[in-house]
Structure 1
Amino acid sequence: MVGGAVVCFLAAYLWGVTWAARRRRRWPAWRTASAVAGVILVLVAVGPVGVAGHHDFVAHMWGHLLLGMLAPLLLVLSAPVTCALRALPVSGARRLSAVLGSVPVRVVTHPVTAATLNIGGLWLLYTTPLHGWMHSSTAVHVLVHAHVLLAGWVFAASILQADPTRHPVGHPARAVVLVAFLALHAILAKHVYAHPPLGVPAIEAQEGAQLMYYGGDYIDLVLIVLFCLDWYRRSAPTTSTRGRRAAGVA
């Protein structure tokens, strides 16, 4: 179900890229590649890795890194909202903007809410019987996968803000949320190491927790670098600004 949804997303995304090209609106190839790579990682995470995760906690944790962290980051970098706004007619773009500017969407996509949904869901997964339920019920398994993907996606989008938003949150506030999220994610990995989820052997829990801790650090490092580059790019004075300042000094 999750795999089918992301395939439909990719089909719509590629249609948008093609339609925008017909209207002579070029779209960066690296963003398209990011969308394709993100969808592939989702399919891998819910496919072979997800199947292996039923009986191997380390494989399950690989699925967490791919589905909840790396794939969402790539999908955010593909800027799907911007792509849709370029491809849609004016009326469709206005309706999409109205939906994205609605109160429910604004609340969910706020960095604090997005971080809470993301890390809160992970704490519930590994500190309650939910982890065991997801491997004994297909419906729960699908719901957990969907939540992990969407929560990771919304969180990465709220931090990077690669797409336009009517109510942007400043970089300082997003930096605080990001640091808090990273700390809670690291604490959770240590908790899993010391207190394995129900039904998970201690040795597997320790290996999975180490993968969560160190593997998550590498992905988080990429997120931090992208965030800092965007902060610098938006706050650095432009050439024209520097020229006006120089003229004023002269």
Structure 2
Amino acid sequence: MRAADAVSHAGHAGGFPATALLPAVMFWAYLAAALRLRDPGGPGWAHRRTVSFGLGTLLVAAGLLAPGDDFVGHMWQHLLIGMLAPLALVLGAPVTLLLRTLDRRTARRLVHLLRHPAARVLGHPVTGLLLTAGGLWLLHLTPLYRATLENPLLHTLTQAHFLLSGFLFTWSVAGRDPGPHRPRVPVRLVVLGAGVAAHATIAQLLYAGVLVDVPATGAELRAGATLMYYLGDLAEIALALALLATWRPERPTGRPATRPAAAPVRA
């Protein structure tokens, strides 16, 4: 009997996973802050952002509750938690909402923290790419995936890693929140292209069963790899569209902005 069938996948061994309550808590906190801004006299908050963040928490919950006893279920969990949910969460602009609801002194400290050199390195798209793609390669090309089948805590930590690294990568590429150290859009597009290539390569290795260490049949590997390849492509296309939606062409340097001539003032 295979290891994937001999043990119940971590997070479902004890029935309803307690971690599935975390998305509900996240959305409750977000909704409370959004409603606070929509009080009479408040600056307001866009409904589309609330809907987007709510969709993201729903996708996280779906990934945590999805059966992961086989490799196809594991791949669904990865795509929901690590790729689709982070995009919806990022489009909800949670950092902007937090800055608007905090008092001025605390918000100023948070802004200074975002401008710290360490935050600059952590928030760079290359860092996010190394965490997401590197984690994906490490999970499937080493005995780590086998270990997550036997260790519920390790499986939970792996899911947390993919959620946080996916959020960081998505935020650094196409975040609506303030990012004072984000590189220009062409640079982010190149990094995103590298992520697409890394994702497609690991999917092809899984499909062929080459160099990977996954306790699954050939049919399961091919089904999971196909799911990763095509649904992952859709998630990355959506991320690219979100990035292009934020692109504002820069004005050429050295050319002063033209202003309409002022009308003559009459006495």
Q: TM-score, normalised by structure 2?
A: 0.83
- Equivalent-residue separation in structure 2 for 1:125 and 1:3 (angstroms): 22
CA RMSD across the alignment: 2.1
Aligned pairs for 1:29-108 (under 5 A) are 29-47=47-65, 49=66, 52-53=67-68, 55-108=69-122
Which has the greater radius of gyration? 2
CA 1:100/1:12 → structure 2, altered by over 3 Å: closer, same or farther? Answer: farther
Q: Which runs of 4+ in 1 moved over 6 A?
A: none
DSSP-derived class of the 2:135 partner? helix
- Equivalent-residue separation in structure 2 for 1:58 and 1:246 (angstroms): 61
DSSP-derived class of the 2:170 partner? helix
Aligned equivalent of 2:137? 123
Contact 1:197 1:205 in 2 (8 A): no
1:212 partnered with 2:228: yes
Aligned equivalent of 1:201? 217
Offset at residue 104 of structure 1 (A)? 2.5
1:21 partnered with 2:35: no
Paired residue type of 2:37: A
Consecutive unaligned residues in structure 2, runs of 5 or more: 1-17, 262-267
Q: Please, which of 9, 15, 27 is the counterpart of residue 26 of structure 2?
A: 9
Deviations 1:95-135 (A, max 9, x none): 22122222332211111111111100000011111111111
Contact 1:2 1:146 in 2 (8 A): no
Contact 2:93 2:175 in 1 (8 A): no
Paired residue type of 1:223: L
Identity of aligned residues (%): 40
- Equivalent-residue separation in structure 1 for 2:180 and 2:114 (angstroms): 8
Deviations 1:224-245 (A, max 9, x none): 11212222xx1177xxx9x938
Consecutive unaligned residues in structure 1, runs of 5 or more: none
Contact 2:129 2:195 in 1 (8 A): yes
Contact 1:132 1:198 in 2 (8 A): yes
Offset at residue 2 of structure 1 (A)? 4.2
Paired residue type of 2:71: F
- Equivalent-residue separation in structure 2 for 1:180 and 1:98 (angstroms): 31
Of 189-198 and 126-135, more deviation after overlay is shown by 189-198
Q: Provide the aligned length of Structure 1 versus Structure 2.
A: 238
Aligned equivalent of 1:226? 242
Greater fraction of residues in helix: 1
- Equivalent-residue separation in structure 2 for 1:12 and 1:230 (angstroms): 26
